[in-house]
A and B are shown apart, each in its own frame.
Chain A
């Protein structure tokens, strides 16, 4: 029974980083209607910038991390402004290919600039300490990830609910033409959405980098975040979060009780299952167009 609770807790902990990645993807999907495959690398580059600021320039954490987050914000805005917006009347497939191209560009840049070796990111808390509740362990970094994920979700909720720009984003996502007619600068709103998405992904990246920093570190969390978002519904922010937690927990239970060999692919089996039963995802509304 202890193993069961340990797996549930570990699943929730790892699900938190998937949730942050999933949130980032859903934000962009709602704004640009494109599954954003550059989400992982939008976090990767800032992570290596943080590593450079800490290791090469010796900046303290309280300077390096905020600078990194600002960089991530601008990176997201820049990619939307310089690349996505330039695409002329693109269809969904074209947009997906653009994001895959950007993913390769950023990954190649990181590998070229920083090298392929794995590194240890200097981090303010130890990644190897843990909190013990009864016989159940949760590492301090997992606990931090869980808390940070919950805080970000709360901030995003408040942001979309009460801030002017948040409401403008929701309006743009729901009906871009109507939003533009109401005086909302929809291009700018979309650019800011990309910036916020990049920022959220960067937080996940920084937390993941505490364990190991390497050029390919964001690929798996990005796929799992995407899986979580699809399970929860690509148009629902709470859905993406719940979906990510479902993926994390099911993965751990499957690894513990069924097959550890196929643990990492179970997320994709869940996607297939959910898409067959409820194509719009578990938490998103399914709109049927009436003719």
Chain B
């Protein structure tokens, strides 16, 4: 009996030891998995999973700047096209864009919500200088890359920031090249400017003033226009009184239409010249009932002047640029909404994000924000459907390391709503604000 009890006791002890071992192993396994799992999560990047990359964007879908909402919709169709082609290194691009109605307060709220609730890997484009400025510091503080702000403002590169990559040629440059063309090529002596009373217009004013100073000339009239202004007769009277031969228009498409129309009604028809923001020629021709024909404009892409040839004409609805043709067929026709209109603004939404997509491809499977920034910095003379885009390793005192595209070309609207190429790419000069 005793031996039986002894054996039973020994058996029980053995069982207990085995079960202790099992418990210990289980706890150890759970702890190990947790620790390794945590370690893995700690290195995984926000907004990136094995199958997805989350990318944010804001843009006005309603409000006074709603026509520029096509930028975000263009980006969306482009990302869908990339996903349909298999994504990037097995990951799909998940595009989160929201309507901020061109209202900086809404931009801040929307960016914070998406960043803190879902977690964006990076932000792309983003229409409007004021809207961008409202969230710039928030993104910088969190070291979140913001690629290609959709406005040609000096604020994005002065001072430069490691995580912000500009692409849009600066409005300062538009004004320089337009003045250069007006004086040197067309021989105008009396140049004036109508400028939107904000950062966009004022940078156009600054660029024009500085360029004309090189020729020992001054603007004969500088007329500010507020966004809400609809009656522009007094503005035209000022230009007429100043006997302006050429007028630079650094205003939105609606104001361009009103100025040209009011000028025509008052029998005042100078050479109108405008910035990249009014490059949607079919739209401009429609809203001016044809008066836009002959307007000279700064262009940042959607055709390659080298390929089209100076003096030749290009139709954005039937593009000769092979890449733009592809986007028209595979992004716009397949993924844009039925009522969407193909035009410069929509295509610009694609163009602004091309270098970002290139950098994502170069990074490879192991995607982090730091690696993305490193690959963006290696981009040199990249050309998609805009001009050449270059970045350089970050230097806190060198705005050019983040400037992106510095070249534009001059073109002219034709009566059949096409674009006549007047020059090859011209490199613009960066003007620091201190100069």
Contact = CB atoms under 8 A, between A and B. Distances in A.
12 contacts: A3-B241, A6-B237, A111-B66, A116-B61, A118-B283, A119-B287, A128-B289, A212-B254, A212-B257, A220-B229, A220-B230, A252-B234
Given A115-B339, A116-B66, A216-B64, A129 B254 contact: no
Interface in A1-53: 3, 6-7, 10, 13-14
Contact of A118 (B224, B237, B262, B287): B287
Interface of B: 60-64, 66-67, 69, 197, 223-224, 226, 228-231, 233-235, 237-238, 241, 253-254, 257-258, 261-262, 264-267, 283, 286-289, 291, 339, 341
A211 B283 CA distance: 15
Contacts of B289: 120, 127-128
A94 B187 CA distance: 62
Nearest to B234: A255
Contacts of A6: 237
Contacts of A216: 63-64
B66 A120 contact: no
Given A3-B237, A116-B61, A130 B67 contact: no
Interface residues of A, number: 42
Nearest to A136: B266
Q: Which of A118, A129, A216, A261 has the most CB of B within 10 A?
A: A118
A260 interface: yes
A210 B237 CA distance: 21
Contact of B286 (A3, A119, A141): A119
A116 B234 contact: no
A219 B228 contact: yes
Given A115-B339, A116-B69, A263 B229 contact: yes
B240 to A, nearest CB: 9
Contacts of A137: 265-267
A6 B266 CA distance: 10
A145 to B, nearest CB: 11
Given A128-B264, A264-B226, A118 B62 contact: no
B218 to A, nearest CB: 18
| 3 tightest Cβ-Cβ pairs between the two chains A and B | A116-B66, A139-B265, A255-B234
A228 interface: no
Contact of A261 (B61, B62, B224, B257): B224
Contacts of B234: 7, 10, 252, 255-256, 260, 263
A217 interface: yes
Interface in A244-275: 251-252, 255-256, 260-261, 263-264
Given A7-B237, A116-B67, A120-B288, A212 B62 contact: no
Contacts, number: 99
Nearest to B66: A116
Q: Which of A111, A116, A261 has the most CB of B within 10 A?
A: A116
B235 to A, nearest CB: 6
Given A118-B253, A128-B261, A263-B234, 17 more contacts: A3-B237, A14-B231, A111-B62, A120-B289, A127-B265, A130-B265, A132-B267, A212-B257, A212-B287, A215-B66, A216-B63, A219-B228, A252-B234, A256-B234, A256-B238, A261-B224, A261-B226
A205 interface: no
A108 interface: yes
Contacts of A217: 230
Nearest to A223: B228
Contacts of B62: 108, 111, 116
Nearest to B254: A118
Q: Which of A13, A14, A140, A211 has the most CB of B within 10 A?
A: A211
Interface string A134-149: 0001011110000000
B119 to A, nearest CB: 30
Nearest to A129: B265
B114 to A, nearest CB: 22
Contacts of A220: 228-230
Interface in A161-208: 208
Interface string A214-233: 11110111000000000000
Contacts of A127: 261, 265, 289
Contacts of A130: 265-267
Contacts of A89: none
A115 B346 CA distance: 14
Contacts of B341: 117
